[in-house]
Structure 1
Amino acid sequence: MRLQGKVGIVTGSASGIGRGIALAMAKEGANIAIVDVNEEKGKETFAELNQYTEGLLVIKDISIKENVDEIVTEVVKKFGKLDILVNNAHVSRQDLFVETTLEHFDLSFGTGFYPTFHFMKASYPELKESRGKVINFASGAGIDGQVTQTSYAAAKEAIRGISRVAANEWGPDGINVNVIAPIALTPGVEQWRQSSQDLYDAMINKIPHRRLGDPEQDIGRTAVFLASNDSDYITGQTIMVDGGTIKLR
């Protein structure tokens, strides 16, 4: 129970990686606010999470800044504090570089980068009080420059940039800011595998562990570590949870 008594927000947690993180943290004793736009999936995850701890389900569009402020206020009102912020939600489109438009960037930055920035600002007073932890999300798409990922890669690298700045500025306040760059078997990836088995197999063969990560056991457990006191002396880092695919230097 490494997170006993902690309170956290996990965006995009109705399914996929966010769900895995929310459940992993709940099983370690944290009270978690599930934040998503998918009410049906959100209710399913909320019911499962409540088997382990007390949760809060918030169905709101985080691309709207005012909603972000309201979410933080709602969480603090219910639980009295905020210890953990996980910025996981992100939506983007894949297209070749020359076919990428400003609308692609608006979508990727509007659902990923700007909500991350707004949640960090809105949460800062509470995180300073609790000497809390911020966990943001990047991707090998940005680090390695994956094809067709122009807008997504740009937003993810921008998130890494502000995470390093916040780690430096907020370190004296006792706030840790780190980034996870995962590869995981999410429902979306599973759908892609069914339609593109050859491409999927090629991707798996590039992973030293020859498998995709599990959203809860691999990505979620890493998030638990970064949210716990065990990571108190780690900040400003990008943690590759990708089976060894990319080795940062």
Structure 2
Amino acid sequence: MKKMEGKVVLITGGARGIGYGIAKAFAEEGANIVITGRTASTLIEARENLEADYGIEALFVVADGGDETAVKNVVKQAVDRFGKLDCLVNNAQVSKSGTMLVDHTKEDFDLAIYSGLYATFFYMREAFPYLKETKGSVINFASGAGLFGKLGQSSYAAAKEGIRGMSRVAAAEWGEFGINVNVVCPLAMTPGLEKWKDEYPKLYDQTIQSIPLKRFADPEKDIGRVCVFLASDDASYVTGETITLQGGSGLRP
């Protein structure tokens, strides 16, 4: 039997990049998938591929995670369709990456906080009653930008570190209900990174040399498989942790 057979997993930003890799990893293990995002065409294509390739059921809901009402609708549609929710993966995030702190406007900062921190908060709060019923799990995404203070990432780092703090509190508050809450900090190959690689090959090579494993993570095999583990019974005693999936570049004491 597959690890996630019959489980229901909601993944924000699940139609592309890391989110889609996570969706494929869960689908491979038999989970039914709910994906959200802001572009209907991308979501439709992802849903069709997931159902065709893995034989599972997939639901897509167009939503902006920073919109509280939209988040309520996503969770409602997920539960109306599948009757339960076993795992929530908060992956989506938008920010003004590359903009130095002194050049940020309040609108720039709001973009990161609403799409990341508020969205994660809204989804966690709305999902809680259903995760309580299934003794489910939450996997939130943070970043090395916040852990290590990456240049040009002030609003992004602020949102991600806020997510880490909130996740630890949720792990403490929700443990009695059998819900585990963990954080993943990835360094993965995405379409955006592929474009950057093509445009700046020398800088890409320099970056690769700073990673002990000499590569970026594969969204499905390296990131998605760890998420499957965190959502499975194998990780039922793992909560409140931050896991850096950065090929050794996130070495810490």
Q: Please state which band the TM-score falls in when normalised by the shorter chain.
A: over 0.9
**Within 2, Cα distance between the matches of 1:82 and 1:43?**
21
Q: 1:148 aligns with which of 141, 146, 152?
A: 152
Cα displacement (A) at 1:88: 0.2
Cα distance in structure 2, aligned partners of 1:11 and 1:171: 23
TM-score, normalisation: structure 2: 0.96
Shift, 1:224, TM fit: 0.6
Aligned equivalents of 2:76, 2:44: Cα separation in 1: 21
Aligned match of 1:12: 13
The match for 1:86 is 89
2:74 to 64, 71, 80: 71
- Deviation of 1:84 after TM superposition, in Å, equals 0.3
Q: Using the alignment, how far apart are the partners of 1:34 and 1:7 within structure 2? A: 11
- Any residues of structure 2 matched to 1:61-210 within 5 Å, and which? 61-94=64-97, 95-210=99-214
Alignment partners' CA distance in 2, 1:248 and 1:11: 29
Residue 24 of structure 1 and its aligned partner are, at CA, apart by: 0.5
- SS of match in other structure, 1:114: helix
May I ask how many residue pairs the two structures share in their alignment? 249
Partner of 2:152, secondary structure, is coil
Q: TM-score, normalised by structure 1?
A: 0.98
For 1:174 and 1:248, the matched residues in 2 are separated by 29
Describe how 1:23-62 pairs up with structure 2 within 5 A. 23-51=24-52, 52=54, 53-62=56-65
State how far apart, in whole Å, the 2-side matches of 1:62 and 1:5 are: 26
Aligned-partner Cα distance in 2 for 1:63–1:98: 24
TM-align CA RMSD? 0.9
Deviation per CA, 1:95-119: give whole Å up to 9, x if none.
1122122112100011111010000
Distance 1:69 1:204 in 2: 41
Runs of 4+ in 1 over 4 A off after TM superposition: none
Partner SS state of residue 89, structure 1: coil
Gaps of 5+ in 2: none
- 2:210 and 2:242 mapped to 1: Cα distance? 20
